[in-house]
Amino acid sequence: MIKLANITKIYPPDITALHKVNLHIKPGEFISIVGQSGTGKTTLVKLLISEEKADQGKIIVGGWDITAIGQAEIPILRRQIGVVFQDFKLLHKKTLFENVAFALQVCGERQRKINSIVPQVLKIVGLENKMHRYPLEVSGGEQQRAVIARALVHRPKILLADEPTGNLDSINADEIIEILQKINKFGTTVVLVTHNREVVNKLRKRVITIENGLIVGDQAVGKYIL
């Protein structure tokens, strides 16, 4: 599903975020990428959605070599990957319904289909009663659930979650992880980037540990070891 071969990313002037990283994530996997702040976890996510370009190596997502992806193809790639961010990244001037619908509207989906799918997805994340509220009118946990709904709405094969619990209390964090697990059970590959020890240890799934831009651990049923 995702293959990184010898990936190196250097930020000017000479900060090596990732150094010759090799990683293979199979379809339907739930993997956690852990490591302390500034070790290159978020860079990895940015490379997968082409927000950054690798300096060396090859990235393949769903059989598509995106190493040298063109500017016009980036939106198409991003429509196939669901992304959840720590800071939610919701459009404040749109309601939760409109935020989720927006991900389908950019693909040119018909309004009738949008009107039928969006409430269903919002129901999955437990927001069916708050879909017409604006992001700033709901809690952080609810905002994050709306982000997950937006990431899921075009049924992506891959869901990238970059510190999705970073801004949440433990109860909300647990709820978000439960939703991610549910999504994974439906067959979506989930890549969870986190430095939340408790979350990783409770999951008992594959754990990749990154330190100073290098993969220093890859356990099939792992724990947060740093």
Partner 1 sequence: MFLLSFLRVIKFSLQDIGRNIWLSLITVVIITLALFSVNLLLTVKILTSATVSAVKEKVDVSLYLKAEAPENLILALKSQISNLNSVKQIDYVSKEAAMESFRVKHKNNPEVLRALLELGKNPLSPSLIIKPRDINNYEELIASLNKIDNDIIESRNFDDHKAILAKINNIAEKANQTGLFVSSLFVLITILVVYNAVRVAIFTHKREIGIMKLVGASTWFIRAPFLISGLIYALLGVLLIIIVIYPFLNLIQPYLATFFSGFEVNLLAYYNGNFLLIFGLEFLAASLVNVLASLIAVGKYSKV
Q: In the complex, which residues of this chain contact partner 1 (CB under 8 A)?
A: 49, 51, 71-72, 74-79, 83, 85, 89-93, 102-103, 105-108, 110-111, 150
Rounded to the nearest whole angstrom, what is the least distance from the CB of residue 100 to partner 1 in the complex? 10
Q: Are 192 and 33 in contact (CB under 8 A)?
A: yes
Beta-bridge mates of residue 39: none
Q: Are 2 and 60 in contact (CB under 8 A)?
A: yes
Rounded to the nearest whole angstrom, what is the least distance from the CB of residue 137 to partner 1 in the complex? 14
Rounded to the nearest whole angstrom, what is the least distance from the CB of residue 160 to partner 1 in the complex? 11
| Residue 6 CB neighbour total at 10 angstroms | 12
| Beta carbon nearer to partner 1, 108 or 171 | 108
Q: In what order do the strands lie in the sheet with 56-61?
A: 15-25, 2-11, 56-61, 64-65
What would the two tokens of residue 119 be? 């409430």
| Beta carbon nearer to partner 1, 34 or 153 | 153
Rounded to the nearest whole angstrom, what is the least distance from the CB of residue 143 to partner 1 in the complex? 13
| Beta carbon nearer to partner 1, 147 or 203 | 147
Rounded to the nearest whole angstrom, what is the least distance from the CB of residue 32 to partner 1 in the complex? 22
| Beta carbon nearer to partner 1, 106 or 225 | 106
| Beta carbon nearer to partner 1, 37 or 71 | 71
**Angle separating helix axes 111-124 and 96-105, nearest 10 degrees:** 130
Residue type, 123: K
Rounded to the nearest whole angstrom, what is the least distance from the CB of residue 8 to partner 1 in the complex? 22
| Beta carbon nearer to partner 1, 106 or 226 | 106
